[in-house]
Structure 1
Amino acid sequence: MTGRMIGATGLLTAIVSIVFTLLVVAVSDMRESAEVLRHSRERLAAANLVERDIIDLETGVRGFVITREERYLEPWDATRFRFPADASELVRLADQPGQRSRARRVLEAGTSYIQGYAAPLVSDVRQGDASASSVEATEEGRRRVNALRRELDGFAAVERVAITASQERADADARQAIVAASVGFAGSIVLVVLFAGYLTRAIVGPVRRVAAMAGRLAGGDLSTRMSQTGVGEIGALERSFNSMAESLQRSRDGLRRINDEQAALRRVATIVAHGTSPDDVFAAVAKEVGLLLGAEATRLLRFEADGRATVMSGWTREGDPVPAGGRIAIGGTVAAIVRQSGQPARKTEQLSWVAGFLPGPGPYSAVGSPIMVEGKLWGAVTALSPHDRPMPQGADVRMGEFTGLVGTAIANTQARAELTASRARIVAAADQTRRQIERDLHDGIQQRLVSLTINLRAVEASVPPELPELRADMGELVGGLIGALEDLRETSRGIHPAILSEGGLGPALKTLARRSTIPVELDVEIAHRLSEPVEAAAYYVAAEALANAAKHAHASVARVEAGIRDGRLHLSVRDDGVGGADPVRGSGLIGLTDRVEAMGGSLEIISPSRQGTLLQVELPVEID
C-alpha cells in the first residue's frame, strides 16, 4: 500500500509540475507582453504630448501674427520652454533605433522651428515688419509644422502596431495557459478519483471509527474512548487516540483553572490600576479568591500590634455578610501561622462554634497567604472550606498572586497620600516664605527708604534760596528715592500681596482687577475667609491668567468669577483674546497646575484658536 501511494503521489506530482511549468512560462510571456505594451503606450502618450506642444506653438504664433495681440503668445511662451523637455523624454522612451532617430529629428526640427522661425518671426512682428505677416512667412511655419507632425504620425503608427502585436501575443499566451491548466486539472481529477477509490476500500472503513471518536472529542466530550480492536497501524492509531483523549482532558482541566485564575487576576488588577479605594480592592479580592478556590468563605485580615487582626473584607458562598471592621483573635487559625512565618500556610481548623458566615461547626480546610506592603507583613487572606471538600493543592500559593495586588493597592494608596501631603507642605512652605520676605521688605528696607525720603525732604527744605542748583539736585534725589520705594512696593506685592493676608480672596481679586492693564469684569461671591493655601492658589491663578490675557492673548476685556458651591471654590477667568494657550509651553501654567492639584483641586484650560481662553479652577474649601 505504501508503494502504491508513493507511485500515485509521484504521478500526480509530475502532472502538477508539468502544468505548473507551462503556466509559469505562459505567465512570464504574458508579463513580457504586458511590459512591452506598457512601454509602447508610454511612448505613444509622449508622442501625443509633443504633438500637442507643436500645435500650441503654431496656434500661438499664427494668432499673434494675424491679430498682433500679445495674449495669443501666452500658450506659445509656455510651450516653447516645455517642448525641449517633452521631446527629450520622447527620445529617452524610444528604445528602437528607428524610433529613436525619428524622435531626435522631432526634437531637432521642433527646436529649429522655435529658435529659427517662430522666435524671429514674433520679434519681427513686434517691431512692425510688414513682411513678417506675409503669406510666405506663414507658409514657411505651416510647412515646418506639417513636417513635424508627419514625423510624429510615423512614430505613433509604429507604436500602435507594436501595441497591437503585444496585445495579440498576450492573448495567445493567456489561451495557452488556460489550455495547460485545463488539461492538467482534468488529468489530476482522474488520478485523484482513482486513488480515492483505492483509499476508500483499503483504509476509510477502519478509520471511520477513529473519525467518529475525533468528532466527539471536537464536540467537547473528552471522556469518550474507543475499543482497541484493530491491528497494526490501525491498532496503534486507536491506542494513540485514547491516549490523546486522556491528555486533552487533563490539559483542558488545567487550562480552565489557569484561565479562571488569570481572568480573576485581570479583574482585580483592573480595579487596582484605576486607583480604586482599598476597600473596593479588598472586597474584590475576597470574592475572586473564594470563587476561584471553591471556598465556603474568605476573609482579608490586617494584623494589629496586639496580636489580633482586623477584618477588612469578607465573602461567603451563600452571600451572607461577613462582619467587617471588627477585631478578632487569630490564635489557633491559619492566619496565626502566616503571621508567624510570613509564608503561605495550610491547616485544618476545628471549629466548635458556628461563625455567622459559616454553615456550622466542625473541621474546616483552611489556607492563608500573607499580604506584604513595601517588604513588611501587613496582613493575610484566608479561605475556609468543609473538610470533606478540602482546598485544592497549591491553593495557598495561588492566593499569593492576589495578595501581591492587595499589597500594591495599599502601597499605591499610601504613596498617593504621602505625595499629596508632601506637595501641600511644599506649597505651604513656599507661601510662608513669600509672606516672610514680604514682611521683611515692608518692615525693613521699605521703612528705611521712607525715613530716608523724609530726611532728604527736610534737607531739601533747609537749602538756602541762594543755592537753587543744590535744591534741584536734592529734588532729583528725593524723586529717585520715591521711585525706588514704589518699585520696592510693587515687588513686595508681587511676592505676596498684603491685601490677600489682610482682607482675603475677595478684596485681593478686586485689587488685581484694578491694577490690570485691561478692563476686568468681576463677579465674586465669597462671604467668608478661606484657608490660606486655597486663597493663595486661587489668587495666583487669577493673577497669572490676567497677566497672560494682557501680555500674550492681546485681549480687550476679561471676566473673573468666583464663588463657593458644594463645598468647593469655583474660580474662572475668561478673556476674548487670540486663544491657543498651551500649558506645555508656559512654566507659569504648569506651576499653577501643580499648586492647584497639591490642594486636591483641578485646573482646566479651554483655549481654541481665535476664540479666547477660559481657565477654570475647582478647590476644596474649609471656611475659616
Structure 2
Amino acid sequence: MSARRERRGLRLRLRLRLTSLTIAASGLLALLIGIAFAVLLWAIADANSSTSARRASRSALVEAEGMERLLLDLETGQRGFVITEREAFLQPWKSAREQLPAKASRFTESTTSSEGRRTAEQITRGIASFLDDYSVPLVEAVRHHDPAASTLAKTTEGKQRVDTLRAQFHQYMVAERAQLAAREDAARTNGRRAVLAACVGLAASTALVAVFTVLQHRAVVRPVRRVVAAARQLAGGGLGVRVPPSEVAEIAALGASFNTMAASVQDNRRRIMESVEAVHRRTARDLHDGAQQRLVSLMIGLRLARELLPGTETSVADLLDQSIDNAQTAINELRELASGIYPLVLTVKGLVPAVRDLASRCPVPAVVESRKERRISSTVESNAYFVVAEAVTNAVKHAHASRIDILLDFADVLRIRIADDGVGGVGDAPAGNGMTGLANRVAAFDGTLAIESPPGGGTTILIRIPVPS
C-alpha cells in the first residue's frame, strides 16, 4: 500500500505543468537566440576589428615604402651631386630632407605592434644619422671642393649605411606583411566560426521549436481532442465515457473535471431511472392491490346479485350482465396497464420469466433463450427488461420482423442479444426510432450497446450491462 502511494506521489511530482513547460521552452529558445545573436555581434565586432587592423597594417606598409623611397631620394641626390657637383642634382636630396621629419613621424605612428615601433624608431634614427652624420657633411665637403669627399672610403661608407637601412626596411615590411596575413587568416577563421556557431544556434532553435511543437501536440492537442471526442460521446448518450489521465497538470485537471461531471450525470441518470422504476413498481402494486381488487370485488358482488334475481326480471338481469362484462373488461385493461407499467412477474420471478411473458404477448413469434439463469439486482433486472421491451417494440413497429430471437446470458456481465429478420438499416434510420433511448438506458448502468443492422439483413442488438456481485 505504501509502495503504491509512493509511486502515485512520484507520478504527481513528475507531472508536467503546461505553464512551467511553456516558460522553460520559451526561456531556452530565448537563450539560444540570444547566444546566436551574441556570437554574430562578436563576429561582426571581430570582423570590424580585423578590418581596422588590416587597414592599419596596409597603412604601415605604405608609410614604410614611402620612408624607404625618401632614403633612396637622399642617397640618389647626394650621389649625383658628389659626381657632378651641380646643384640641380641635389634637388631630390633637399626635398627628401624637408619631408623627413613629418614622414618619420607618420612612419613611427603607423606601426601596429610594439616590436614594429622599435624597428621603426631604429630605422628613423638610422636615417637621421645617415643624413646628419654622413650625407650633410659630405655635401658640404663637396661644396668646398674637398678632395676627400669623393674618395672610395666615403662612397663605401654611404653604401653600407643605405644597405643596412634597406635591410631593416625589408625586415620591418616582412614582419608587417606576416602580421597582416595572420590577421586575415584569423579574421577568416573567426568568420567561419561565427557562421558555424550561428548555424548551430539556428539549428538548435529550430530543433527546440520542433520538439516543443511535438511535445505540445502530444501533451495538449491530443488530450484536448480526446476530451472533445468524449464530450461529443457524452452528449450523444454515452454516459460511460471517461477521459484517460494526462501527464500535463492542467489537462489532467480538465480530464478529472470531465470525468467527475460524466460520473455525476451517469449517477443522476441512474438515480432518476431507479426512482422512476420505484414509482412504476409502486404504481403497479397500488393498481393491483387497490383498484384492481376493488373491481374484482365489485364484479363478484354483481354476479351474486345476478344470481339472486328472479328470472322474471329480464331487464334488470340484462343490466347486471352488462355491468359484469364492463367490470371484467376494466379488470383486464387495468391488469394490462399494470403489467405495462411494471410487470408483477418481474418482481416475483425475475428477468427471464418476465421476458418470456413479454415474448408470449408479442404479435410476432419471439423465442427466448437463457444461459446461467439467476436473480440479479432488481434495478438491473428492471433496466434490462425495459431495454428488451423497447427493442422488441422497435422490431415490431419499425423493422417489420417476422421473427425475434432473444438471448439472456448471466455471466460476469449480463449479455443480451436481440436479433430480428426485419428490414435492417437502423444506422440510416432517422432520429427517434428508439435506439437513442436504448443507449441512454444502458449507459446509465455503465453498459455498452452495439448495433449490427445492414440494410435488408435484419438487426442485431448486443447489450452488456455490468452485474453487481
Q: What range is the shorter-chain TM-score in?
A: 0.5 to 0.7
Matching of residues 344-363 of structure 1 within 5 Å = none
Give, as a single letter, the amino acid of the residue that structure 2 aligns with 1:264: L
Look up the match of 1:267. 218
- Using the TM superposition, give the Cα deviation of residue 569 of structure 1 relative to its aligned residue in structure 2, in angstroms: 0.9
Look up the match of 2:363. 517
Q: Does 1:570 align with 2:415?
A: yes
After TM superposition, the score normalised by the length of structure 2 is 0.53
Give, as a single letter, the amino acid of the residue that structure 2 aligns with 1:589: M
Q: Does 1:471 align with 2:317?
A: yes
Query: By percentage of residues, which structure has more helix?
Result: 2
Higher relative contact order (CA 8 A, sep 6+): 2
Query: By percentage of residues, which structure has more strand?
Result: 1
1:403–1:533 Cα change, 3 Å: same
Q: Distance in 2 between matches of 1:607 and 1:265?
A: 41
Corresponding residue SS for 2:273: helix
Corresponding residue SS for 1:545: helix
Measured on the aligned residues, the alpha-carbon RMSD in Å equals: 3.5
Q: Distance in 2 between matches of 1:546 and 1:280?
A: 36
- Using the TM superposition, give the Cα deviation of residue 247 of structure 1 relative to its aligned residue in structure 2, in angstroms: 6.9
Matching of residues 335-350 of structure 1 within 5 Å = none
Cα shift readout 1:435-481 (whole Å, capped 9, x = no counterpart): 11111211221112111111111222222211112211211111112
- Using the TM superposition, give the Cα deviation of residue 587 of structure 1 relative to its aligned residue in structure 2, in angstroms: 5.2
Look up the match of 2:301. 455
Corresponding residue SS for 1:474: helix
Contact 1:272-1:281 within 8 A present in 2 as well: no
Contact 1:520-1:557 within 8 A present in 2 as well: yes
Contact 1:522-1:559 within 8 A present in 2 as well: yes
Cα shift readout 1:47-82 (whole Å, capped 9, x = no counterpart): xxxxxxxxxxxxxxxxxxxxxxxxxxxxxxxxxxxx
Contact 2:373-2:410 within 8 A present in 1 as well: no
Contact 2:374-2:410 within 8 A present in 1 as well: no
Q: Distance in 1 between matches of 2:323 and 2:372?
A: 45
- Using the TM superposition, give the Cα deviation of residue 254 of structure 1 relative to its aligned residue in structure 2, in angstroms: 4.6
Corresponding residue SS for 1:603: strand
Q: Distance in 2 between matches of 1:266 and 1:515?
A: 57
Give, as a single letter, the amino acid of the residue that structure 1 aligns with 2:413: R
Count how many residue pairs are aligned between Structure 1 and Structure 2: 279
Contact 1:563-1:570 within 8 A present in 2 as well: yes
Contact 1:537-1:592 within 8 A present in 2 as well: no
Contact 2:408-2:414 within 8 A present in 1 as well: yes
Match of 1:586 among 414, 432, 449: 432
Q: Does 1:542 align with 2:388?
A: yes
Q: Distance in 2 between matches of 1:420 and 1:581?
A: 25
Match of 1:613 among 449, 456, 459: 459
Contact 1:572-1:615 within 8 A present in 2 as well: yes
After TM superposition, the score normalised by the length of structure 1 is 0.40
1:587–1:443 Cα change, 3 Å: farther
The structure that has the greater radius of gyration is 2
- Using the TM superposition, give the Cα deviation of residue 424 of structure 1 relative to its aligned residue in structure 2, in angstroms: 1.5
Corresponding residue SS for 1:281: coil
Q: Does 1:496 align with 2:460?
A: no
Q: Distance in 2 between matches of 1:508 and 1:280?
A: 39
Look up the match of 2:448. 602
Q: Distance in 1 between matches of 2:311 and 2:270?
A: 62
Give, as a single letter, the amino acid of the residue that structure 2 aligns with 1:407: A
Q: Distance in 1 between matches of 2:204 and 2:426?
A: 59
Cα shift readout 1:230-262 (whole Å, capped 9, x = no counterpart): 79xxxxxx9999999877765654554444334
Q: Distance in 1 between matches of 2:467 and 2:443?
A: 13
Q: Does 1:481 align with 2:327?
A: yes
Please list every run of 5 or more consecutive structure 1 residues that lacks an aligned counterpart in the other structure. Answer: 1-219, 232-237, 286-401
Cα shift readout 1:97-156 (whole Å, capped 9, x = no counterpart): xxxxxxxxxxxxxxxxxxxxxxxxxxxxxxxxxxxxxxxxxxxxxxxxxxxxxxxxxxxx
| Percent of aligned positions that are identical | 29
